Amino acid sequence: MDMRKVQMTFFATIVLTLLLAYDVEPLVFTKCGLTRYLLNNGFDRSLIGNWICLVESESSKNTSRITEKADRSKSLGLFQINDKLWCKWKTPGGRCEMKCETFIDDDIQDDSMCAKKVQKEMGFRYWEGWMRSCYRRHLPIPPC
Ligand SMILES: *[C@@H]1O[C@H](CO)[C@@H](O)[C@H](O)[C@H]1NC(C)=O
């Protein structure tokens, strides 16, 4: 092998390793992955079917989904939490006392805490996607 090929291979290996290590892709959950996460993170078992349906209809299980609303506010992440009321950009704020940035990364711990608060205060009816696709449906826990 000539030197150039060796260098190219070396470079490609480093890039690949970095990509794998830092997981730069936005995370899209599988139905089972999401179910397991919710079950292991304090979501009420009797509501899991509703949460799965909500996440599927609101964000297609995509942790980085951003939807611009008619009033120019943005709904963010897996649970499509709105930046007008529940968080602040760059500094923790809103009713969840959190940074909006944390709702579009692939760590859904903050998202989960805030989503539970939204549901407690406003009910599932607050989410248009839930009203459209989940209201008055039979929503069992998906078998995994
Ligand atoms: C997830 O959402 C992000 C941001 O909207 C988008 O760039 C990406 O393509 C989506 N991924 C999938 C698999 O739909």
- The number of CA neighbours under 13 Å toward the Cβ of 8 is 5
Asked if the model's pLDDT at residue 140 lies above 90, the reply is yes
- Note the pLDDT tens digit of each residue in 90-111: 999 999 999 999 999 999 999 9
62 touches ligand 1 (CB under 6 Å): yes
Q: Are the beta carbons of 60 and 28 closer than 8 angstroms? A: yes
- Note the pLDDT tens digit of each residue in 39-65: 999 999 999 999 999 999 999 999 999
Helix H or strand E encompassing 88: strand 87-88
Mutate to test the pocket of ligand 1, among 25, 58, 64 (most ligand atoms within 8 A of CB): 64
Task: Calculate how far, in angstroms, residue 54's C-alpha sits from the geometric centre of ligand 1.
Answer: 17
What domains are there in the chain, each with its CATH number?
Answer: 26-133 (1.10.530.10)
Listed residue (20, 15, 30) closest to 61, CA to CA: 30
Task: Calculate how far, in angstroms, residue 23's C-alpha sits from the geometric centre of ligand 1.
Answer: 14
Q: Which residue stretches of 23-108 are H helix?
A: 31-40, 48-59
Q: Are the beta carbons of 29 and 37 closer than 8 angstroms? A: yes
pTM, to two decimals: 0.82
